[in-house]
Amino acid sequence: MYIMVDIESDGPIPGDHSMVCFGAVVVEPGLSRTFYGRLRPISEAWDPEALAVSGFSREQVLGFDEPKEVMQRFADWLGALRTKRLVFISDNNGFDFSFVHWYFHHFLGKDPFGHSSQNLGSLYKGLVNDTFANFKHLRKTAHTHDPVDDARGNAEALLHMKQQMGLKISLD
């Protein structure tokens, strides 16, 4: 089962900086199964410009939920999907996966996604045989930096690739 994920952070790398919030969407028609988490900072280091992208102030994020609790809720949500195979996919998996993977291992000791992820942009480039191509015109939901909206828009693009462009992919 493909899970489209998007994260917002207050800096470029996990551990030194914090994941502020993230959203996940099960890639399936309707895109109705979603998860959203907001996490309290794990570090005193933060970049005001990076944090501004999320739309939250430092004062606001200091009041967010404990990261361990959020990651446990996410793991429970993923477990309730009752699938044998979870596939992490995102627009920028090098960034998004690094934070989610680090947080899962740091706070829970394991990552339900395993050790790999997929990149939506690379998938699209291969589908159209053009390393300069961009999938973002396939989104229906506006890219707002709300991580659920952004994950939903990216999931819409993946569904379009499957349904309209002939991408051979099993979303089960």
68 found inside a domain: yes
Give 152's pLDDT tier (boundaries 50, 70, 90). Answer: very high
- Catalytic positions, please? 145
**Residue 116 in contact with residue 3, Cβ under 8 Å?**
no
Q: Can you list the alpha helix ranges (DSSP code H) found in the chain? A: 48-54, 58-62, 67-80, 93-108, 120-128, 147-165
Render pLDDT for 162-171 as a digit per residue (tens, 0 to 9): 999 999 999 9
**Residue 145 in contact with residue 9, Cβ under 8 Å?**
no
Render pLDDT for 23-35 as a digit per residue (tens, 0 to 9): 999 999 999 999 9
pLDDT of 43 > 90? The answer is yes
**Residue 117 in contact with residue 97, Cβ under 8 Å?**
yes
**Residue 89 in contact with residue 117, Cβ under 8 Å?**
yes
pLDDT of 96 > 90? The answer is yes
61 found inside a domain: yes
85 found inside a domain: yes
Q: Tell whether pTM > 0.85.
A: yes
Decide the pairing of beta strands 19-26 and 2-9. Answer: antiparallel
Which CATH number covers residue 7?
3.30.420.10
Please state the rounded mean pLDDT for residues 81-93. Answer: 95
Q: How many domains does the chain have?
A: 1
172 found inside a domain: no
For 24, the token pair is 């996940």
pLDDT at 11: 97
Q: Considering the chain, what percentage of its residues have pLDDT values greater than 70? A: 100
Nearest to 101 by CA among 128, 74, 125, 126: 74
Domain that holds residue 34: 2-165
pLDDT at 172: 81
129 found inside a domain: yes
